[in-house]
Every structure is written in C-alpha cells, then in structure tokens.
Amino acid sequence: MLTGNTTVQRVSHTIDAEFQDSLIMLDPVRGKYLALNAVGRRIWQLLEEPTTVDRLSATLLMEFDVPPTTCLDETRQLLERLSALELLQIDSHG
C-alpha cells in the first residue's frame, strides 16, 4: 500500500505523446496502451523525478481546484493502477 512517505517515479521505457489535454502512453515491453486525462498527464509529468505521494498530492492541490481528500484518494488510485501495470517504481523506505 502506498503511504504519504512512499517515493514513486515513473519507469523510463514508455513512449508517450500528448493529445489535446490527455496523454497516450505505449509500454513497448508489454505491448499495452494507456490513456490519461489532463490530471493523469500532469501526474505522469511530475513522476519524471522521484517524489513522495505527499509531495505529489501537495503539488496537484496547488494546480487543480479539488478537495484535499479527493486529490489524495484519486492520486493514490492512479499510482496503484500504474504500479499494477508495472509503470511505476516504488520505494516504500522513503
């Protein structure tokens, strides 16, 4: 489970392209596509460098008009989805 202190970073082997407000990603290792909305695209951009779940959520709160609990919950949901797809590196030791 991801906690606030968990450090996360995206994997480097994906190919992605912006399309309007979304991001289309290809994982050439697994041959899978994934589409992210504008918020998901921003999360993916922020995951270029290692960051904690708390720092990621704090940045998103400054950029998007969303309640803190919703921001944290939805951020964790996307991170868990990316992790399940093996598109995320996780360091629980922070």
Residue 6, token pair as written in the block: 């968990």
pLDDT band at 62 (very low <50, low <70, confident <90, very high): very high
The answer to whether position 7 is within a domain reads no
The answer to whether position 16 is within a domain reads yes
Tens digit of each residue's pLDDT (9 = 90 or more) over 21-47: 899 999 999 999 999 999 999 999 999
The answer to whether position 58 is within a domain reads yes
pLDDT (average), residues 34-63: 96
The answer to whether position 65 is within a domain reads yes
The answer to whether position 1 is within a domain reads no
The answer to whether position 93 is within a domain reads no
Contacts of 37 (CB under 8 A, 6+ apart): 21, 22
Separation of alpha carbons 75 and 43, rounded Å: 8
pLDDT band at 78 (very low <50, low <70, confident <90, very high): very high
pLDDT over 90 (residue 1): no
Enclosing domain of residue 75: 12-86
The answer to whether position 77 is within a domain reads yes
The predicted structure's pLDDT at residue 93: 72
- Strand pairing partners for 2? none
